[in-house]
């Protein structure tokens, strides 16, 4: 009859109270575990997706929006930027590497991202099948996209205008699946990747459709800019800033603007023929971006990126580069690290409130445990006296009370961990089909859980302290004399 | 051999217990007879190490009981003194056999399930080993309490008011039970009671209160 068997026998004797104590402790712990798992996975996800990206350049607007749209692919872009302006910054000596992104279309809600194959390397993406795109109209599917759409190598897909489902489709420009990515837990899983040129090609075609006057193929480039305008308005209605930015930007390219701003004017007919691929040598090395394009080569100004992901050449650039971009160009430079920190601190208030709630639950449960143990020890005061008469020392009875508190706390801890991870798994399963940017899993563990386990056992001991003192003070002679 | 010398205990200034000398020899079963309030229970508690007297010595064999630290005294009691309480005080959360096994466990002795079974068998309640105390009759509970007191083979078996609530024939039977069990286990039985019906069963009787030297010498 060890002390453990003894405590278990007592706990079995009052199953309702035992279950209540254990469940209350478990609920508090589970709440905190879910929060821990959630915040750890959000942070892990945020940092995994911004790994290797020091700064992002895009159109002026909200820096957070720029990061969300171009790094995490969850928000609408702030707008587009002319390739010439972007290239000037990409060639800057402070920049070690640059990956351009062109957004605009989607397929069944999955974004089609035009970029270079460097974008795949940024996330160490591996191909399950096929190869990266080599020419236009070839696409590589992220793992989740492939799984959800069922598309395989060689299949064709028709992109839709806009970044959400329900946009007009371009049936005449099918894209061919040439590669399938292995799941790698980053944003790539839910992207359709292709070359920048593919996005431009679809876009220019699309702009012609959209403008409803594709009688003249030569208008495409002229239309394209107008289309970008149109798209922005469609993406976030009432986003007056975009129009303003574009207006300002257009002012620096007088020739191009005059021709392209009205989406469906016949003035576009004055434009020269389209230049299919932009020259990447246009920028001045080491210099600050000059006003984009020069009169006479307007077409290169029409090729647009949505954002450029940059890596700095030196730590110094982290200070200099964003200041330079934001002060001296019409572009916006935003650092993922800064913006995600800002996002987390916003999110943090809510998480802190929930965490506090979990802690209050645990404390209430510990209090309940202490009271239950106190009553239990009082109810068995004759038993304690008998144990003393049978040879138990005071410290044995103290151990008995502490053991019982620890036992209840342990059961609450085990149940709470199961509940917490189970709830996280259930939440993850419930949101699995919704293309959430942060897939929640219950099967991972965070180091803080060890601290929680220690906290729970500590609480069990603290809750048992007063009952233990009570057991220590058992006045056996008086109790037994009372009979 | 148990010897009390100059033992005195008072709750306030009124002495409850005053024993100049008391000696109980090995195998000499004793009856402490006295009305309630005469200090029987206090004497038992002093005798078993549960209540330190204001002064005096209590020798159990060669051991001065109150010379031991409290913890050592607890262990000594667990190993050398078996107590059958008036209310039995069985642990309700434990089965009969678990109640018996509690005794070696609390005294820091190795568990001996065989002894528990043989004791229950000798007391005629072997089939109740796995029952809980609230499933037993009053008489069965008393047998379990006696078995538990004998678990650690104590040289001294003490019973507090074992028969006061019983009818005549049952009281006789319980006295038999205690005496037989003590003889079988080689224990010296000391019964404290106000129940004079079983007095004739004891060779050695001691009338309480023990407040004078003469009273204690009656036993000699």
Find all residues with CB under 8 Å of A326, minimum gap 6, and list them. A332, A333
Query: DSSP labels for B42-90?
Result: HHHHHHTTSS--SEEEEEETTEEGGGS-HHHHHHHHHHHEEEE-TT---
pLDDT at residue A9 in the model: 93
Whole-angstrom Cα distance, residue A201 to residue A105?
11
For the cut 60, the answer to whether the pLDDT of residue A229 exceeds it is no
Average pLDDT over residues B56-82: 93
Tell me which of B42 and A226 has the higher pLDDT.
B42
* A476 touches B: beta carbon within 8 Å: yes
**pLDDT confidence band for A36 (50 / 70 / 90):** confident
Whole-angstrom Cα distance, residue B192 to residue A132?
98
pLDDT at residue A300 in the model: 46
For the cut 80, the answer to whether the pLDDT of residue B62 exceeds it is yes
pLDDT at residue B195 in the model: 87
B50, B74, B107 ranked by CB distance to A480: nearest: B50
For the cut 80, the answer to whether the pLDDT of residue A348 exceeds it is no
Average pLDDT over residues B116-143: 93
Alpha-carbon gap: A7 to the closest alpha carbon of chain B (Å)? 9
For the cut 70, the answer to whether the pLDDT of residue A204 exceeds it is no
Tell me which of A227 and B85 has the higher pLDDT.
B85
pLDDT at residue A92 in the model: 87
Residues of chain B neighbouring A472 (CB-CB closer than 8 A): none
| Helix (H) or strand (E) segment spanning residue A101 | strand A95-107
pLDDT at residue A345 in the model: 85
Alpha-carbon gap: B172 to the closest alpha carbon of chain A (Å)? 22
Please return the burial class of A454, using the count of CB atoms within 10 Å of its CB with bins 0-12, 13-18 and 19+: exposed
* A464 touches B: beta carbon within 8 Å: no
Find all residues with CB under 8 Å of B45, minimum gap 6, and list them. A477, A480, A481, B51
A12: nearest CA partner in chain B: B93
pLDDT digits (tens, 9 = 90+) for A235-262: 444 444 444 444 334 333 333 333 333 4
Tell me which of A1 and A243 has the higher pLDDT.
A1
Each residue of B2-32: b (16+ CB within 10 Å) or e?
bbbeebebeeeeeebbbbbbbebeeebbbbb
Full 3-state SS string of A348-400: HHHHHHHHHHHHHHHHHHHHHHHHHHHHHHHHCHHHHHHHHHCCCCHHHHHHH
Strand order in the sheet with B156-160: B81-84, B156-160, B188-193, B30-33, B204-207
Residue indicated by tokens 């971009």: A325
pLDDT digits (tens, 9 = 90+) for A414-451: 999 999 999 999 988 887 666 666 667 888 888 889 99
B35: which 2 tokens?
């009305």
DSSP label at A274? Answer: P
pLDDT at residue A282 in the model: 39
Beta carbons of A442 and A38 less than 8 angstroms apart: no
CB pairs under 8 A between A and B: 87
pLDDT digits (tens, 9 = 90+) for B191-203: 998 888 888 888 8
CA angle, residues A252, A257, A258, in degrees to nearest 5: 120
pLDDT at residue A248 in the model: 39
- Does A392 sit within 8 Å of B106, measured CB to CB? yes
Average pLDDT over residues A37-59: 86
B→A contacts (Cβ < 8 Å), by residue, are 41-42, 45, 48, 50-51, 70-71, 74-75, 77-79, 83, 85-87, 89, 91-94, 98, 101-103, 105-108, 111, 148, 152, 160-161
SS3 A164: coil
Whole-angstrom Cα distance, residue B26 to residue B47?
15
Which of A377, A390, A482 to mutate against chain B (most B CBs within 10 Å)? A390
Whole-angstrom Cα distance, residue B121 to residue B102?
18
The count of other CB atoms within 10 Å of the CB of residue A124 is 11
| Helix (H) or strand (E) segment spanning residue A312 | strand A307-312
Query: What is the longest distance spanned by two Cα atoms in chain B?
Result: 51
Average pLDDT over residues A317-332: 88
Provide the pairing of β-strand B55-60 with B2-10: antiparallel
For the cut 60, the answer to whether the pLDDT of residue A5 exceeds it is yes
Provide the pairing of β-strand A110-115 with A191-195: parallel
Q: Among A3-12, A124-133, B133-142, whose mean pLDDT is lowest?
A: A124-133
**pLDDT confidence band for B18 (50 / 70 / 90):** confident
- Does B107 sit within 8 Å of A393, measured CB to CB? no
Q: Among A12-21, A237-246, B180-189, whose mean pLDDT is lowest?
A: A237-246
DSSP label at A214? Answer: T
For the cut 80, the answer to whether the pLDDT of residue A482 exceeds it is no
**pLDDT confidence band for B217 (50 / 70 / 90):** very low
Residue indicated by tokens 């003035």: A267
- Return the axis-axis angle of helices B96-107 and B113-122, rounded to nearest 10°: 130
Each residue of A436-445: b (16+ CB within 10 Å) or e?
eebbbebeee
Residues of chain B neighbouring A388 (CB-CB closer than 8 A): 50, 74
The count of other CB atoms within 10 Å of the CB of residue B176 is 12
Average model confidence (pLDDT) for chain B? 88
For the cut 50, the answer to whether the pLDDT of residue A6 exceeds it is yes
Expressed in percent and rounded to 5, the helix, strand and coil fractions of chain B are 40, 25, 35
| Helix (H) or strand (E) segment spanning residue B171 | helix B168-185
The count of other CB atoms within 10 Å of the CB of residue B197 is 15
Whole-angstrom Cα distance, residue A71 to residue A171?
29
Enter the pTM of the model.
0.71
Average pLDDT over residues A99-116: 88
**pLDDT confidence band for B159 (50 / 70 / 90):** very high
Highest mean pLDDT among A228-232, A340-344, A473-477, B127-131: B127-131
DSSP label at B27? Answer: T
pLDDT at residue A435 in the model: 61
**What sign does the dihedral B73-B78-B79-B82 (CA atoms) show?**
positive
pLDDT at residue A246 in the model: 42
Residue A217 φ/ψ, nearest 5 degrees: -60, -25
* Count of alpha carbons within 13 angstroms of residue A363, beta-carbon side: 6
Find all residues with CB under 8 Å of B180, minimum gap 6, and list them. none
Q: How far is CA A372 from the centre of its chain?
A: 43
Beta carbons of A193 and A139 less than 8 angstroms apart: yes
pLDDT at residue B190 in the model: 93
The count of other CB atoms within 10 Å of the CB of residue A281 is 8
């Amino acid at each position: 009859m060890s002390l453990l068997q003894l405590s278990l026998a007592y706990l079995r004797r009052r199953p309702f109270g035992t279950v209540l104590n254990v469940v209350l402790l478990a609920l508090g712990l589970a709440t905190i575990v879910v929060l821990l798992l959630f915040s750890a996975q959000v942070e892990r996800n945020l940092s995994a997706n911004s790994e290797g990206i020091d700064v992002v350049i895009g159109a002026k607007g909200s820096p957070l929006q720029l990061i969300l749209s171009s790094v995490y692919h969850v928000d609408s872009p702030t707008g587009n930027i002319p390739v010439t302006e972007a290239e000037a910054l990409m060639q800057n000596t402070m920049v070690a590497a640059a990956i351009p992104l062109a957004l605009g279309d989607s397929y069944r809600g999955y974004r089609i991202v035009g970029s270079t194959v460097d974008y795949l390397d940024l996330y160490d993406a591996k191909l399950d099948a096929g190869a990266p795109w080599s020419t236009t109209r070839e696409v590589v599917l992220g793992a989740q996209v492939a799984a959800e759409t069922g598309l395989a190598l060689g299949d064709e897909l028709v992109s839709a205008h806009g970044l959400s489902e329900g946009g007009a489709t371009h049936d005449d420009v099918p894209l061919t699946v040439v590669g399938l990515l292995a799941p790698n837990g980053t944003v790539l899983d839910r992207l359709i990747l292709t070359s920048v040129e593919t996005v431009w090609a679809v876009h220019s075609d699309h702009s012609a459709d959209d403008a409803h006057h594709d009688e003249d193929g030569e208008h495409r480039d002229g239309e394209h800019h107008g289309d970008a305008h149109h798209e922005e308005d469609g993406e976030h209605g009432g986003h007056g800033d975009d129009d303003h930015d574009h207006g300002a930007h257009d002012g620096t390219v007088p020739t191009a603007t005059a021709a392209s701003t009205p989406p469906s004017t016949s003035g576009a007919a004055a434009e020269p023929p389209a230049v299919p691929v932009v020259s990447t040598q246009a920028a001045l090395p080491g210099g600050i971006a000059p006003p984009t394009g020069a009169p006479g080569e307007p077409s290169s100004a029409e090729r647009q990126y949505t954002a450029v992901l940059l890596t700095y050449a030196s730590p110094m650039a982290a200070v200099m580069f964003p200041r330079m971009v934001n002060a001296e160009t019409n572009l916006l430079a935003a650092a993922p690290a800064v913006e995600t920190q800002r996002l987390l601190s916003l999110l943090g208030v809510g998480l802190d409130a929930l965490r506090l709630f979990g802690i209050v639950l645990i404390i209430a449960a510990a209090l309940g445990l202490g009271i239950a143990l106190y009553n239990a020890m009082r109810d068995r005061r004759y038993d304690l006296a008998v144990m003393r008469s049978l040879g138990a020392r005071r410290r044995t009875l103290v151990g008995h009370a502490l053991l019982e508190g620890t036992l209840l706390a342990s059961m609450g801890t085990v149940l709470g961990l199961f509940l917490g991870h189970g709830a996280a798994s259930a939440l993850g399963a419930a949101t699995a089909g919704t293309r959430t940017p942060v897939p929640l899993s219950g099967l991972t563990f965070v180091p803080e859980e060890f601290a929680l386990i220690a906290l729970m056992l500590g609480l069990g001991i603290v809750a048992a302290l007063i009952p233990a003192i009570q057991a220590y003070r058992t006045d056996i002679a008086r109790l037994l004399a009372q009979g | 051999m148990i010897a009390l010398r100059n033992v005195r205990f008072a709750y306030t200034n009124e002495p409850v217990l005053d024993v100049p000398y008391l000696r109980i020899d090995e195998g000499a079963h004793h009856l402490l007879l006295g009305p309630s309030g005469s200090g029987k229970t206090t004497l038992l508690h002093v005798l078993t190490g549960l209540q330190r007297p204001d002064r005096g010595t209590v020798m159990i064999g060669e051991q001065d009981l109150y010379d031991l630290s409290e913890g050592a005294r607890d262990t000594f009691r667990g190993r050398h003194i078996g107590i059958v309480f008036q209310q039995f005080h069985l642990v309700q959360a434990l089965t009969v056999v678990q109640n018996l096994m509690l005794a070696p466990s609390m005294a820091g002795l190795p568990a001996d399930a065989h002894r528990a079974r043989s004791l229950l068998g000798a007391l005629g309640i072997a089939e109740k080993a796995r029952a809980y105390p609230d499933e037993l009759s009053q008489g069965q509970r008393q047998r379990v309490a006696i078995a538990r007191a004998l678990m650690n083979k104590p040289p001294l078996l003490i019973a507090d008011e074992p028969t006061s609530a019983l009818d005549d024939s049952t009281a006789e039977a319980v006295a038999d039970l205690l005496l037989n069990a003590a003889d079988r286990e080689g224990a010296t039985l000391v019964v404290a009671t106000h129940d004079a019906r079983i007095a004739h069963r004891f060779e050695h009787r001691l009338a309480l209160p023990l407040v004078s030297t003469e009273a204690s010498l009656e036993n000699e």
